[in-house]
Amino acid sequence: MATLLVEGSGAAAAVDRLLVQSENPSDKGLSVRRIANGEQVVVCRVAEDVVRLHCHGGRAAIGRIINALRQAGGQVADWKQWATEREDPLHAAARVALVEAPTRRTAGILLNQYAGALSKACTSIREMIDNGRTHDARAKLDELLEYAPCVLHLTEPWRVVVAGRPNVGKSSLVNALAGFDRAIVHAQPGTTRDALTTATAIDGWPVELIDTAGFHTTDDPIEQAGVRLAEERLAKADLVVLVTDAAVSWSKDDAALLAAWPGAILIHNKCDLPSAEGRRPDGLRVSALRGDGLPDLISSLGVRLVPCPLPPGQAVPWTTQQVDALRSTTEALRIGQTDQAVSLLGHLLTTRHWSE
């Protein structure tokens, strides 16, 4: 389904000219009608010269209705611009972000901000400053900024790169985490030569799993390009999952990869097979094939990405502009510039730049 909002002087009359007979008249302002080009719509008269048209959501159907409205003298407005012009900046920014929220959890957090959580918090901080309670104001700012690293991912996914040597089961692990076969799995080393991305969710947060080519020395220019691409993706990763083969003895190459990314989650995959002799560093034992250890891995991913769960209803900044404004406010209070701090908060609450 799709909804088109038609408003402005003469909007209702323009819609009436496009519609043919009522198929289901209602005394509550609702009716099922057809536009002259044959598209069926549900007409809802919200107010004088404000009409909502609910219709089928296919692009072709929507396009025909929009073209008919254009021919009747209407102009198409960008909905984001429409929202920011009619609402205060924080409310408008939350509306835009809420539409783009990819999971129920992130939508719930943004819905709290749409209801005014951040706006109320900023107003409260200004009142604290005005009343000379700068210590309390700084504590409240610190609370808001504590969650900044994770809430900036309310609409943008975390980048989790799965890396390791060839044939250790990286693609199989990505498929197991995603719940469907996205990456090609084959016993031949070097099957993955590109960086394949798969969208999923971990503990309700959007995550982009990135399956990379295996690290190894090769004369094949295509495989060399795959390794370089893997290195580029690793440099931009929010978290690295380093996969090794538990059925093969720990090697100097494995040790070198772990030394290169000491913050990675270390996985000993293929634990369904007999384990190789020799010592291995501590890590999670997983079988991507059978699913052994996957719940522990998913839990570890969730904790590493979001170490501080948000309390219900928590006010948070969700754009880099908002975070920068709050950090600047904190710094202004630290050096005793209370007037500057109040000005920065006022800018955050009233300037439409922050909703872009």
Strand 30-34 to 40-47 pairing: antiparallel
Give pTM, 2 decimals.
0.76
Q: How far apart are CA 319 and CA 148, in angstroms?
A: 9
pLDDT at 225: 64
**Region 313-320 average pLDDT:** 94
The angle at the Cα of 158, spanning 153 to 161, to the nearest 5 degrees, equals 170
Question: Could you report the per-residue pLDDT of 37-74, keeping only the tens digit for each?
Answer: 677 888 888 888 899 988 887 888 888 888 888 888 88
pLDDT at 49: 87
Name which of 80, 82, 114 is nearest 98 in CA terms.
114
Q: Do residues 310 and 151 lie in contact, with contact meaning Cβ atoms separated by under 8 Å? A: yes
Q: Is the alpha carbon torsion for 178, 181, 187, 191 positive or negative?
A: negative
Domains of the chain: 2-76 (3.30.70.1400), 85-147+312-355 (1.20.120.430), 158-305 (3.40.50.300)
Which DSSP string corresponds to 286-337? --TTT-TTHHHHHHHHHHHH-SSPPPTT-----SHHHHHHHHHHHHHHHTT-
Question: Could you report the per-residue pLDDT of 1-44, keeping only the tens digit for each?
Answer: 888 889 888 888 888 888 876 555 555 567 788 776 677 888 88
- Give percent of the chain above pLDDT 90: 50
The angle at the Cα of 14, spanning 12 to 20, to the nearest 5 degrees, equals 95
> Is 61 or 224 the better-scoring residue by pLDDT?
61
Question: Could you report the per-residue pLDDT of 271-303, keeping only the tens digit for each?
Answer: 999 999 999 999 999 999 999 999 999 999 999
pLDDT at 144: 95
